């Protein structure tokens, strides 16, 4: 199998940064997905095994998706709230599957990080970290961490191998979206080590009724604009449902693009998806995020976050902003002249 020739030298650099530390804070995105959770567990394993570092894993948002909650339980990983921790008390601070200054991570970008490992396009703020490994061509951050574990000769615990299989699968949609040879190699190495029965329980974790209410809202509000489908889900507790709805709606027959929007804690969260190989969803997300917000991502999937004006609620002002975002999105990705029509037409009976 092919292997990254850069991993050994990067492993040595990472080790030099971690040497001498007794404690480490590992920061994930606000609402971490399976890839972020697996990558955090992978970095924790390296820090524990090679350096004897006690690690705390934290994030600033919520983990509402049932699969992600089940994954954390299976790993025995206690993901703490960043608000409960004082970063000054840790000898080292790392960030995985996210970067400082991005809209999906609430962490003071002026705090110098010791380690940043990610697979999204590199941000300016990231370059100030003592050690960075950002490979935007990779499909998953779990793949990068697996390469470190492999080169270090660390025997992976079964739960970690299982989590990494799930992380790679979920971020590449079963190796079908923006995956590289490295992702495939890592997956093939990890799969025989994984507990497939446990993985099945994670993937099919019971879903709360609110999930189906949100899904009904997403489908009921979905509008077709030519080859684009958009939906405003209204007020949500977590942005995870926005991304899941965008994945689902892209599967509507004849669609090239999907965009879903949700209102969470005074911010509009946008998730974009596309099948168009010539498109750049990250560029569209950056444009929609604008100067007041944040946006970015990959060629086929991206996200943006836009703050609402102080005191704004789910009323006319938000609806106007959503309509403006939809118009800009359609102008960039479709034909503004296409008349919108509802995805689900009312029953005639």
> Which phi and psi (to 5°) does residue 143 adopt?
-60, -45
Handedness of CA 269, 274, 277, 278 (dihedral sign): negative
Q: Of residues 182 and 102, which shows the higher confidence score?
A: 182
Question: How would you class 110 by CB atoms within 10 Å of its CB: exposed for 0-12, middle for 13-18, buried for 19 or more?
Answer: exposed
> Tell me, what's the pLDDT at 313?
65
The yes-or-no verdict on residue 346 having pLDDT over 90 is: no
The yes-or-no verdict on residue 3 having pLDDT over 80 is: no
> Tell me, what's the pLDDT at 6?
52
> Tell me, what's the pLDDT at 208?
92
Least confident of 1-10, 26-35, 170-179, 293-302: 1-10
Cβ proximity of 208 and 181 under 8 Å: no
Cβ proximity of 325 and 270 under 8 Å: yes
- Give whichever of 56-65, 178-187, 253-262 has the largest mean pLDDT: 253-262
Q: Which two three-digit tokens encode residue 12? A: 């040595």
Can you name the residues that pair with 55 across neighbouring β-strands? 24
- CB proximity list for 209: less than 8 A, separation 6 or greater: none
Least confident of 1-10, 225-234, 338-347: 1-10
* pTM, 2 dp: 0.89
The yes-or-no verdict on residue 189 having pLDDT over 70 is: yes
Handedness of CA 84, 87, 91, 94 (dihedral sign): positive
Confidence of residue 314 (pLDDT cuts 50, 70, 90): low
Least confident of 26-30, 93-97, 98-102, 310-314: 310-314
Which H/E stretch holds residue 190? helix 181-190
Least confident of 150-164, 191-205, 282-296, 334-348: 334-348
Cβ proximity of 264 and 104 under 8 Å: no
> Tell me, what's the pLDDT at 181?
95
Cβ proximity of 272 and 281 under 8 Å: yes
Q: What is the pLDDT of residues 12-53, one digit of tens each?
A: 999 999 999 999 999 999 999 999 999 999 999 999 999 999
The yes-or-no verdict on residue 285 having pLDDT over 80 is: yes
Q: Which two three-digit tokens encode residue 251? A: 């599967």
Mean pLDDT of 170-187: 89
Mean pLDDT of 293-297: 90
Q: Which two three-digit tokens encode residue 161? A: 């191998």
Cα distances (angstroms) measured from residue 286 to each of 187, 291, 303, 322: 31, 9, 8, 16
Strand order in the sheet with 301-307: 294-297, 301-307, 267-274, 257-264, 228-235, 223-225, 341-342
What beta strand segments (E) does 275-314 contain? 294-297, 301-307
Mean pLDDT of 270-287: 93
Mean pLDDT of 1-19: 76
The yes-or-no verdict on residue 202 having pLDDT over 50 is: yes
- CB proximity list for 126: less than 8 A, separation 6 or greater: 99, 100, 101, 113, 116, 118, 132, 134
> Tell me, what's the pLDDT at 104?
87
Mean pLDDT of 100-119: 91
The yes-or-no verdict on residue 297 having pLDDT over 90 is: no
Q: Of residues 103 and 71, which shows the higher confidence score?
A: 71
CA 137, 143, 148, 154: dihedral to nearest 10 degrees? Answer: -170
Using alpha carbons, select from 96, 8, 10 the residue that is nearest to residue 45. 96
Using alpha carbons, select from 302, 68, 31 the residue that is nearest to residue 170. 68
Distance CA 286, CA 309 (A): 19
The yes-or-no verdict on residue 312 having pLDDT over 70 is: no
> Tell me, what's the pLDDT at 1?
45
The yes-or-no verdict on residue 272 having pLDDT over 90 is: yes
Longest dimension (CA), the chain: 72
Q: How many C-beta neighbours within 10 Å does residue 54 have?
A: 13
Average pLDDT, the chain: 92
Confidence of residue 226 (pLDDT cuts 50, 70, 90): very high
Q: What angle do CA 277, 279, 282 make, to 5 degrees?
A: 120
The yes-or-no verdict on residue 201 having pLDDT over 50 is: yes
The yes-or-no verdict on residue 2 having pLDDT over 50 is: no
Tracing tokens 């292997």 back to the chain, one arrives at: 3
> Tell me, what's the pLDDT at 42?
98
Using alpha carbons, select from 144, 212, 152 the residue that is nearest to residue 183. 144
Q: How are beta strands 23-27 and 92-96 bridged, if at all? A: parallel
């Amino acid at each position: 199998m092919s292997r990254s020739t850069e991993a050994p030298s990067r492993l040595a650099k990472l080790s030099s940064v971690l040497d001498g530390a007794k404690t480490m804070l590992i920061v994930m995105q606000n609402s971490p997905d399976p890839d972020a959770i697996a990558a955090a567990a992978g970095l924790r394993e390296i820090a524990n095994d090679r350096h004897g570092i006690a690690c705390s894993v934290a994030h600033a948002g919520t983990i509402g998706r049932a699969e992600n909650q089940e994954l954390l339980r299976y790993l025995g990983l206690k993901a703490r709230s960043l608000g409960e921790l004082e970063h000054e008390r840790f000898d080292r601070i790392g960030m995985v599957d996210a970067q400082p200054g991005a809209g999906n991570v609430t962490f003071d970008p002026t705090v110098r990080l010791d380690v940043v490992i990610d697979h999204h396009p590199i941000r300016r703020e990231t370059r100030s970290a003592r050690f960075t490994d950002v490979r935007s061509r990779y499909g998953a951050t779990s793949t990068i961490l697996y390469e470190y574990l492999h080169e270090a000769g660390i025997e992976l615990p079964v739960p970690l191998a299982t989590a990494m299989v799930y992380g790679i699968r979920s971020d590449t949609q079963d190796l079908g979206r923006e995956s590289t040879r490295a992702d495939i190699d890592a997956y093939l190495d990890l799969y025989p080590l994984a507990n497939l029965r446990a993985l099945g329980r994670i993937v099919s974790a019971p879903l709360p009724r609110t999930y189906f209410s949100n899904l009904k809202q997403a489908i009921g509000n979905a509008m077709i604009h030519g080859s684009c489908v958009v939906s405003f889900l209204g007020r949500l507790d977590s942005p995870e449902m926005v991304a899941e709805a965008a994945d689902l709606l892209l599967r509507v027959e004849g669609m090239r693009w999907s965009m879903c929007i949700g209102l969470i804690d005074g911010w509009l969260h946008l998730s974009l998806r596309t099948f168009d190989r010539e498109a750049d969803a990250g560029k569209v997300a950056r444009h929609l995020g604008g100067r007041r917000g944040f946006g970015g991502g990959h060629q086929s999937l991206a996200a943006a976050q836009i703050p609402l004006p102080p005191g704004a609620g789910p009323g006319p002002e938000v609806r106007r902003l959503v309509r403006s975002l939809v118009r800009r999105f359609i102008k960039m990705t479709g034909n503004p002249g296409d008349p919108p029509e509802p995805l689900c037409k009312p029953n005639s009976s």
